[in-house]
Amino acid sequence: MNADVIVVGAGLAGLVATHELVKAGRRVLVIDQENRNNLGGQAFWSLGGLFFVDSPEQRRLGIKDSHELALADWMGSAGFDREREDHWPRQWARAYVDFAATEKREYLRELGLKVVPTVGWAERGGGSAAGHGNSVPRFHLTWGTGPEVVRIFAEPVLEGEKRGLVDFEFRHQVDELIVEDGAVVGVRGTVLEPTDLERGKASSRTAVGEFEFRAKAVIVTSGGIGGNHDLVRKNWPTERVGPAPETMISGVPAHVDGRMLAITENAGGNIVNRDRMWHYTEGIVNWDPIWPNHAIRIIPGPSSLWLDATGHRLPAPNFPGFDTNQTMKAILATGHDYSWYILTQSIIEKEFALSGSEQNPDVTGKDVKLLLRSRLAKGAPGPVEAFKQHGVDFVVADNLRELVDGMNKIARGPQLDFDQVEGEVLARDRQFDNKFGKDLQRMAITNARQYRSDKLTRVAKPHRLLDPEHGPLIAVRLNILTRKTLGGLETNLDSQVIRADGEPFDGLYAAGEVAGFGGGGVHGYNALEGTFLGGCIFSGRAAGRALARELA
């Protein structure tokens, strides 16, 4: 194919860029090292949450949001403090919040995307009005989750393939960007042996040939580094959050390997904010894995008691769902790489959600009847109950002594002292004899229940953990789960890659996670978005539209 543009990576950002180019009548070659079953990449596995500002869904729930508040939250969370490396991320942050507060929702609705009527409250922050966190709920869950977000862009791209505007070359692994006269003019690489493996499965890297393709421009949309634990450890922000965990589990498939970062840097592209990453502290081992070391994140409500590996309660405001990076720091400060939730059956039924489209079959399948049975009926949702029964990280017991004994059987570090754990539980429970108290987590639960959606569907009625009416008791061993790369290739607002000297790199663009979701770090140190789909959409759209204009 005589392509105008080569897109390296068939994930969400690559599909969005290709969609915009096809709309402009451009010819696109999409290259990916995995097979066609993996079209859409990591976005397919996501929960499908999207960051909107002052949306109709928010207003119907009585949420008063605004561009001003969202921008303050974003900047307070990002904490941009690097003059050179944060030059473009600052501009991307302002542009992205503008997008989220204006045309983002309608742009997606025109493609057929719908969201559920409730709005979730992701990353509630560190307890400061001017600091990190979402002041109000902004997490809009896609009706159809990640596969639906992929579908609305994949369908027009596949239609473009039928029209001869798009070609795919799967199982093609890029090893080099071709640079001539200071501009990127193509790619070279290795053809990998064919495979019909299911989506997400780790595939072989056996070479069966070589390739070279040329075009007027190349867009790199190859994703981050979360599946490459060696690279995660190399870039780990030890001084900021503590030593890299000895045990990590993978929230992304093995093909999220970060190869194109080094390849693009070797060609002359600039990488910034390498140490900014977004890994979760609430990871559990998938009892029914798809990829190697497959992890699932618990998306928690605020009520579980959070203990470190030694059995001491994490200091405020390290509560479930509040401040990911500070909680990571508190956990690693113990010298161990895991922690514990203690909760009740009442809490798990109301407050435990699991990340991943496959863990939410009701919303993913757009099944209203299943949704009502799963979310509103007695008992935990089916996938959550399955983890409780089969997950290696779960302990269920009728009393605290048996619970602590079970926790000690699966502890990777110190044996828990029963008296210490009992003291933490009793101190917590004494704060639940009244509707008020001095405990900040107790206040956080009360605050969450002031929000209508949380009270009805997300936050359990306050109760003592040792109240037998809410039993049995449950403990969950929480592991560090690798997920997203917040730094990456530096890009301007057209998604054009920047060289080390600060000048744009002719013919080279980048979008999605490989570009830190825009600019090389649009989120700064902390992320408010949730699933990061919005950054893939916004940066992919910017790349596609910029090249459509340039090539016109």
Average pLDDT over residues 510-533: 95
* SS3 state at 305: strand
Residue type, 438: K
210 falls within a domain: yes
* 292 lies in the same domain as 360: yes
The three state secondary structure string of 60-95 is HCCCCCCHHHHHHHHHHHHCCCCCCCCHHHHHHHHH
* 546 lies in the same domain as 471: no
Q: Among the three residues 420, 446, 481, which one is the final residue of a domain in this structure?
A: 481
Residue type, 146: G
In the numeric block, the tokens 């890009």 are attached to: 491
* 139 lies in the same domain as 177: yes
pLDDT tens, position by position, 8-23: 999 999 999 999 999 9
DSSP state letter for 44: G
pLDDT at residue 371 tops 90 = no
* 89 lies in the same domain as 171: yes
- Chain-centre distance for alpha carbon 95: 20
Average pLDDT over residues 510-521: 98
User: What is the predicted pLDDT for the residue at 182?
Assistant: 97
User: What is the predicted pLDDT for the residue at 175?
Assistant: 98
CA dihedral 409, 476, 438, 456 (to 10 degrees): -150
* 135 lies in the same domain as 50: yes
Average pLDDT over residues 458-473: 97
How would residue 369 be classed by pLDDT, with cut points 50, 70 and 90?
Answer: confident
* 450 lies in the same domain as 504: no
Average pLDDT over residues 104-126: 96
Q: Is 9 in contact with 512 (CB distance < 8 Å)? A: yes
How would residue 370 be classed by pLDDT, with cut points 50, 70 and 90?
Answer: confident
User: What is the predicted pLDDT for the residue at 530?
Assistant: 79
CATH of the domain at 412: 3.90.700.10
218 falls within a domain: yes
Q: Is 320 in contact with 520 (CB distance < 8 Å)? A: no
User: What is the predicted pLDDT for the residue at 368?
Assistant: 87
Contacts of 310 (CB under 8 A, 6+ apart): 334, 336, 413, 414, 416, 420
Q: Among the three residues 433, 448, 481, which one is the final residue of a domain in this structure?
A: 481
252 falls within a domain: no
CATH of the domain at 120: 3.50.50.60
* 171 lies in the same domain as 28: yes
* 450 lies in the same domain as 502: no
326 falls within a domain: yes
* 467 lies in the same domain as 385: yes
pLDDT at residue 532 tops 80 = yes
pLDDT at residue 419 tops 70 = yes
Average pLDDT, the chain: 96
User: What is the predicted pLDDT for the residue at 1?
Assistant: 67
pLDDT tens, position by position, 266-296: 999 999 999 999 999 999 999 999 999 999 9
Count of domains for the chain: 2
How many helices and strands (H and E) does the chain possess?
A: 19, 22
Residue range of the domain that includes 443: 281-481
* 165 lies in the same domain as 298: no
* 168 lies in the same domain as 301: no
Handedness of CA 447, 477, 351, 464 (dihedral sign): negative
* 454 lies in the same domain as 500: no
502 falls within a domain: yes
Contacts of 347 (CB under 8 A, 6+ apart): 301, 303, 304, 460, 470, 474
Average pLDDT over residues 190-213: 98
Q: Among the three residues 431, 446, 481, which one is the final residue of a domain in this structure?
A: 481
Integer Cα distance of 188 and 169 in angstroms: 13
